[in-house]
Chain A
Amino acid sequence: MKNTKVIELEEVAIRFSGDSGDGMQLTGTLFSDTSALLGNDISTFPDYPSEIRAPQGTVGGVSGFQVQFGKKKITTPGDLAHVLVAMNPAALKANAAYMNPGGTIIFDVDSFSEKNFEKAQFKTNDPFTELKLNDYSLIPVPITSLTKESLKELELDNKSILRCKNMFALGLICWMFDRPLDYIEGFIQKKFGKKNPLVAEANLCVVHAGYNYGMNLQHMTPQYIVHPAPIEKGIYRNVNGNLATAWGLLAAAEKSGLELFIGSYPITPATDILQALAERKDLGVKSFQAEDEIAGICTTIGAAFAGDLAVTSTSGPGFALKSEALGLSVMAELPIVVVNVQRGGPSTGLPTKTEQSDLLQTLYGRNGESPVVVLAASTPSDCFYYAFLSAKIALERMVPVVLLTDGFLGNGSEPWRVPTMSELPPITPRKAKNPETYLPYNRDPETLAREWAIPGMEGFEHRVGGLEKNNAGGVNQDPDNHQRNSEIRAAKVEKVVEMIPELEVAGEPEGDLLVIGWGGTYGHMISSVLAMQAAGKKVSLAHFNYIKPLPKNTAEVFSKFKKIVVCELNMGQFASYLRDKLPDFKYNQVNKMKGLPFSVHELVENFDKLLEA
């Protein structure tokens, strides 16, 4: 190992980048899993184009995957990458702006040809000068030709050979970061071993070739060491937000003793939830791929009427289509969970990019006075708990609950200490008990929740519907009745406040600046606030998971700070909501509409400015 430049680091961000057909998502995922298994804490950020296949070699077709890992708690995938793997000039161009100054760039020199410079719209044949990257650590590796060379003994066609290129890069990076290859070998065997042994052999051969290349040419390649993170003991797995959401709903079904029904329509970036649940026939999931978004929620409402834990998953445009039916579940008071994995809007917007711009749609986007409970998850893994809790609230309070996540949470992953089911609180659905006294809209005086009687239960036959009703479920359009019912439906949602914890502050309970965030920005918010605190600033974070109702002590928390700033990936929707609910405070705003997460750097810069002002 002599001659090797060994760098010991607290945390490193690597970005794998290439054509959308180059297998960068797989490469990134395998590297992340390997790092997590070694005991590093990780956070990942897949960034891929919405086009299925943009023209090869163009900037529009670049697919990236960033992972940050380290020996301490990692809360974001990193603003800027320390190491970039660029499979072609377009990947270099697309990512140059997201590099740590002086970082390392490994590039496939074989693909840095005049033709590809042209496709990536470089003006010269020297992309590094053009992008001002000359003082970076540039490592040209003939990835394509070495891949070909290492597979020349195998009888593989050229296309299959080229598809192994990503494994060369993966092997090389594994050497650089001192990762063993056993997990990756196991994965390749499992994926191709039986089906296509030749492809398995080729991938194994190339990943080793990449690893050995790093070892052999160590004079030019720095090697990094990142020690494992000291974390809580337990059993861990790597999980993304969509999978965690699906599993949280499954856990709620098991806890409540109900069967799980999901009626959904495929939509980016929420489809993985439907897929993850469709896979779980072993746990009895009834998955219904509906003909459209409306049928997705309508079958869900039907299943709730029939007594299942019924959920539907979607993203912004689909949520818009579900609005009328969501109003029906408000009126009929049926327990459903709607998961909205937010993406950039309006209209089709930025399907694969993250945003928090569906908040006001969720709160207010229905006809009539139509209150629902709104929760927001804040990390990929806590999607599990907030999905579970959404179901608990829906079933115990007979109210629709909307869970907001977003593309960043849904696709991003992190290691998660998996709980046992015994760690989760009970869920007690409000099944009706006494047919003699049953009326569908009789309520618990405390919670205002009605009882749930399900077709098949003898003696409870009743009607519900979308028309304003009396206690028996019959139509009643009497003026006082409508006034009373409107107030009850609103109060029922407000009373959920008793089920949720008080707002906690990260940092001192009083100070110069209270930073407010909600939902999927948590990682970047906490990182930036910790950075401020480390610099001696009196800054604390209040991050919201409970949007409607707001935690009881919200105003009290706000009152202890000189300034408040609300940060969100929209034009100020949560800030507007807070101005409406708690008008006594002045809310500064940091907003971003780029389809990207915040960077810690930009948040810190904004907070500093506010403190100086």
Chain B
Amino acid sequence: MTKFNYTAKDFKSAAEVRWCPGCGDYAIMNAVQKTMADMDIAHKDFAVISGIGCSSRFPYYMSTYGFHTIHGRAAAIASGVKSANPALTVWVMTGDGDSLAIGGNHFIHLVRRNINLNLVLFNNKIYGLTKGQYSPTSDRGKITKTSPFGTIEDSFVPGQLVLGSRGTFFARAVDNNIKHTQEVLAEAALHKGTSVVEVLQNCVIFNDGIHEHISDPKFRAERQLFLKKGQPMIFGEQEDKGLILENGRLKVVKIGESGITLKDILIHEPAEDNLGLQVALINMALPEFPVAMGVIRSVAAPVYDQEMQKQIETVQKTRKITCMDDLLQSGNTWTVEGENCDEPVKFFDNKCFG
């Protein structure tokens, strides 16, 4: 039995959605709205914070409290929102340029602090709003308007950055798989701490098909490995392929060949603090490997905003200073009195304040 019986519609605003027709953002928004409805948390307690970029228009399309901020700073502003009021459910909507370029510092420090909020990283490997320049996730050699001869730099792998920043939750999904995206977002919402969900998103105008080799539903089973907690890491149309560790490295094997049985396949344990294996899963790329989807890492750790509250409560239990008058008169004070002393002139009387 749910308390509120919300549907996705309860989270849609009246504003006209202005993403390009066919943009991956529509699907992501539907998944987010459905997830929020399912969370069964009072509508008034949601706050959606974004930076700048196509995806950052998101708050205007939501009926919740929303704040469309400035480029790169959504993570920092959301950190302030959540620290000020941990009772709120805070979502950050951001892109690869917003969070991994101009806002990189705030992104890694948000993840490091483990503030309890959900960050959805729309990764389309391009700057869309400024009409097609390469981003920090564009692949080496990518030709764009600012790299007419191809980029000469390597890209970030967002999951690596999250785990390198001691992230406690990282998941990956694809925009055209709404059901899976929603499952992943639901798990992210439940996570205590910063959850980062990278959604491979298609920019239909400036980078159309950039993820197609991964996302094409025809090859989904062969090219994506859907990780599930406690389940063997298998994939393929026939579910006959899996991952094993060999000499410390991941290797794709076929079940039933060379004496491999299902028992030999690795079991996915996202809650284990196993950075090496989790980074290896994040790094898996076509054609040698399928691309890992789902919750790759979800570990428990102290949560910043709760620790902040706890610290205040602990100090207040034994406090000697309970109000400003206590503080003002604490410590080294002395009293001036006597006949030759004047009456005090109060600042706000003196300066005629009402």
Contacts and interface: CB of A to CB of B under 8 A. Distances in A.
Contact of B73 (A294, A454, A459): A294
B328 A325 contact: no
Contacts of B332: 33, 37, 183, 237-238
A68 to B, nearest CB: 19
Nearest to B49: A302
Interface string B311-349: 110011001111111011101111111101111111111
Contacts of A233: 336-338, 341-344
Nearest to B88: A455
Contacts of B262: none
Nearest to A424: B348
Interface in A285-338: 285-286, 288, 290-292, 294-295, 298-308, 310, 324-325, 327-328, 332
B113 to A, nearest CB: 9
Contact of B47 (A263, A292, A455): A455
A419 B149 CA distance: 69
B63 A461 contact: yes
Interface of A is mostly: mixed
A281 B311 contact: yes
A236 B332 CA distance: 9
A234 interface: yes
Contacts of B62: 463
Given A291-B109, A325-B70, A423 B343 contact: no
A306 B347 contact: no
B83 interface: yes
A457 interface: yes
Interface range for B = 35 or more
A466 B341 contact: no
Contact of B88 (A230, A235, A288, A456): A456
Given A236-B334, A456-B44, A474 B308 contact: no
Most interface-central of B73, B76, B349, B352 (chain A CB within 10 A): B76
Interface string A207-247: 00000000000000000000000111111111000000001
Given A33-B332, A291-B105, A298 B73 contact: yes
A283 B322 CA distance: 6
Interface residues of A, number: 81
A37 B322 CA distance: 25
B325 A420 contact: yes
Interface in B68-98: 68-70, 73, 76-85, 87-88
Contacts, number: 240
A162 interface: no
A289 to B, nearest CB: 10
B67 A332 contact: yes
Contacts of B346: 419, 423
A398 to B, nearest CB: 15
Interface in A456-471: 456-467
A455 B269 CA distance: 36
A319 B109 CA distance: 21
Contact of A282 (B64, B87, B320, B328): B320
B84 A465 contact: no
Interface string A344-383: 0000000000000000000000000000000000000010
A232 B312 contact: no
Given A303-B84, A306-B85, A294 B342 contact: no
A33 B15 CA distance: 62
B78 A232 contact: no
A284 B316 contact: yes
Contacts of A421: 323-325, 328
A421 B327 CA distance: 11
B59 interface: yes
Interface in A161-196: 183
5 interchain residue pairs of minimum CB distance: A302-B80, A465-B68, A299-B80, A298-B76, A282-B319
26 contacts: A37-B332, A37-B334, A233-B336, A233-B338, A233-B341, A234-B335, A235-B336, A247-B327, A283-B323, A283-B327, A284-B312, A286-B83, A286-B84, A290-B109, A291-B106, A295-B106, A302-B80, A328-B69, A419-B347, A423-B346, A456-B44, A461-B44, A462-B65, A463-B13, A463-B66, A474-B60
Given A233-B343, A463-B62, 17 more contacts: A232-B342, A236-B333, A237-B332, A281-B311, A283-B323, A285-B312, A288-B83, A291-B106, A305-B47, A306-B47, A308-B84, A328-B70, A425-B348, A425-B354, A456-B44, A465-B66, A475-B60
Interface of A: 33, 36-37, 39, 183, 230-238, 247, 250-251, 254, 259, 261, 263, 280-286, 288, 290-292, 294-295, 298-308, 310, 324-325, 327-328, 332, 382, 385, 389, 417-421, 423-425, 454-467, 474-475, 499, 501-502
